[in-house]
Structure 1
Amino acid sequence: MSNSTQSAALPRTAMIGVGSMGGAILAGLRAPGVEIELPIAVTARSVSSAAAFEGADDVVAYAGESDPDANRHAVRGAGLVILAVKPWTVAEAARGIADALEPGAIVVSVAAGVPSSAIEAELPEGVAVVRAMPNTPSHIGRGVTGIAGGASAGEEAVATVRRLFETVGEVLVVREDQINDVAAVSGSGPAYVYLYAEHMIAAARRLGFDADQARLLVQQTIAGAAELMVRSDDEPEQLRRNVTSPKGTTERAVEVLQAADWGDLFDRALAANVRRSEELERGE
């Protein structure tokens, strides 16, 4: 959870969908010390998924499988509504709850490639739309989320959504035209780190370490280096130099890696990511 102080309690909240990311956000909202008007209303597709919340005093769950109006029931009385559904179903979900929303409600979308204007078109006037791009470390309270208000969202709505995502990590407020870039850097970023880990583990195996040894060496190196970077006032470049003695072994390895032109590689990878978000916005 962010160290930022929450200045006001979050309003009663409804969550449409409690899959992987929705579940992470819900866990943050239920964490000790979070001030939020209860209960939190959630909707799940199946009766069995909704049954997982039976007996909870802070959550009321509705199952779409048995109740076609589950989403509408969930959003009634909610000042904050989170659309945690697949991108191609966001507009439909917004349309389905439009006439059940409270006046002045804030609707948050965590879907990539769906502009706020497409959601606003389905909702009544006076409802604010804010887009958010969290990442998977939100599951352990170490996420980073980019948020951007749509044309309908004022500073107060954005501030409320900021407090929401501070329950699962750090928050960066950006313009909406930067959200695809946030998705490319931090939204997809964990996958890049895991890809690096895959290749480092494979290389360690080729040096002769067994699977457990290779995983331990790489996992703890990445975790420790990341934590050191978080705690240090030094820039990553300086932290790298701290490890790289002149004419030493690290320097030789870094020279090989830099010869592969990582700058260009990352530029092309992020550009491909952004292009795909733009394609999704066009319905491709």
Structure 2
Amino acid sequence: MIGVGSMGGAILAGLRDPEVRIERPIAVTTRSAASAAAFAGSPDVVAHAAETDPEANRRAVRGAAVVVLGVKPWMVVDAVREIAGELAPGAIVVSVAAGIPCAAIEAELPEGTPVVRAMPNTPSQIGLGVTGIAAGAAAGSAEISVVRRLFETVGEVLEVRESQINDVAAVSGSGPAYLYLYAEEMLAAAERRGFDPAQARTLVQQTIRGAAELWAASGEEPAELRRRVTSPKGTTEQAVLVLQDADWGGLFDRALAANVRRSEELEAGA
């Protein structure tokens, strides 16, 4: 793993679960020596710090069957150029960066190197992630199968066309942030109703968790579950009417469009 920032770190956390069965140790590179030191003595991770070792990225990828690029989008191409000459024959290169198409990565690698784009999300660190994966020009069913199995160790996997990856990023990659924003606003609203912070946290956190678990366990559509809570002329109906009047559908359309637009700007080098 080249880079273990927020997303790469989430994936690494999930892969380090003792119940996840992959070949170990996992070789990772970090920017600072302090970050690498956090893995000192760990039997499942070998960390190389770029700050103190100019060969860190090249050392990490030697002999690896799968290389995950977890650096920031604007750093991906430089990282690929750096490791291109050290990749083992048949190594699969997986990018989790938004806005960097497979073609841009393939252009820096030996011809025929399989490249797969993956868009996971941060719940991967507790095994509840969802990852969209898309094959590049040289990645066939065998390579996709390997990448699928890798990310299935930390959650659900959805295979999509590369043209859909930006939409995956908008819905699930960034999705946890939308839910946390909802939680922030609900917490603040609960406190304005007179609850102290601890009480508000209990009310909001357990409601979100319970509702999500109920949806997963019931197999019902969310619209049906909502109807079951919303009695005609009842209190919930009044709150729901206020939310619907705010045009949540249009709001989410605009939010996802803005997310995808930024991914497209990254692809264009903006």
Q: Is the 8 A contact 1:25 1:168 kept in 2?
A: yes
Structure 1 equivalent of residue 244 of structure 2: 258
DSSP-derived class of the 2:109 partner: coil
Q: Is the 8 A contact 2:50 2:56 kept in 1?
A: yes
* Mapping of residues 80-95 of structure 1, within 5 Å: 80-95=66-81
Give me the identity figure in percent. 75
Q: Is the 8 A contact 2:171 2:256 kept in 1?
A: yes
Deviation at 1:32, TM superposition (A): 2.2
What do the CA deviations read for 1:169-213 (whole angstroms, capped 9, x no partner)? 111111100000001101111111111111111211221112221
Task: Please tell me whether residue 159 in structure 1 is matched to residue 145 in structure 2.
Answer: yes
Structure 1 equivalent of residue 54 of structure 2: 68
* Aligned partner (choices 84, 94, 103) of residue 117 of structure 1: 103
Which residue type is aligned with residue 141 of structure 2? E
Q: Is the 8 A contact 1:133 1:145 kept in 2?
A: yes
Deviation at 1:59, TM superposition (A): 2.0
* Aligned partner (choices 171, 178, 182) of residue 157 of structure 2: 171
Task: Please tell me whether residue 27 in structure 1 is matched to residue 27 in structure 2.
Answer: no
Q: Is the 8 A contact 2:12 2:125 kept in 1?
A: no
Distance 1:43 1:77 in 2: 15
Task: Please tell me whether residue 220 in structure 1 is matched to residue 206 in structure 2.
Answer: yes
Deviation at 1:151, TM superposition (A): 1.1
Distance 1:249 1:130 in 2: 49
What do the CA deviations read for 1:188-239 (whole angstroms, capped 9, x no partner)? 1111111111111121122111222112111111111011111111100000
Structure 2 equivalent of residue 211 of structure 1: 197
Structure 2 equivalent of residue 55 of structure 1: 41
Q: Is the 8 A contact 1:38 1:58 kept in 2?
A: yes
Distance 1:63 1:50 in 2: 6
Large movers: runs of 4+ above 6 Å = none
Which residue type is aligned with residue 159 of structure 1? S
Task: Please tell me whether residue 231 in structure 1 is matched to residue 205 in structure 2.
Answer: no
Distance 1:208 1:29 in 2: 42
Which residue type is aligned with residue 239 of structure 2? A
Deviation at 1:39, TM superposition (A): 2.2
Q: Is the 8 A contact 2:11 2:122 kept in 1?
A: no
Task: Please tell me whether residue 45 in structure 1 is matched to residue 31 in structure 2.
Answer: yes
DSSP-derived class of the 1:107 partner: strand
Q: Is the 8 A contact 1:113 1:281 kept in 2?
A: yes
Q: Is the 8 A contact 1:103 1:126 kept in 2?
A: no
Compare 217-226 and 197-206 and name the one that shifted more.
Answer: 197-206
Deviation at 1:117, TM superposition (A): 0.5
Deviation at 1:245, TM superposition (A): 1.0
Which residue type is aligned with residue 172 of structure 2? S
Task: Please tell me whether residue 106 in structure 1 is matched to residue 116 in structure 2.
Answer: no
Distance 1:34 1:214 in 2: 36
Give the TM-score normalised by structure 1.
0.92
Structure 1 equivalent of residue 118 of structure 2: 132
Distance 1:208 1:66 in 2: 53
Task: Please tell me whether residue 96 in structure 1 is matched to residue 50 in structure 2.
Answer: no
Task: Please tell me whether residue 150 in structure 1 is matched to residue 136 in structure 2.
Answer: yes
Distance 1:135 1:100 in 2: 29
Stretches of structure 1 lacking an aligned partner (at least 5 in a row): 1-14
Two-structure CA RMSD over aligned residues (Å): 1.2
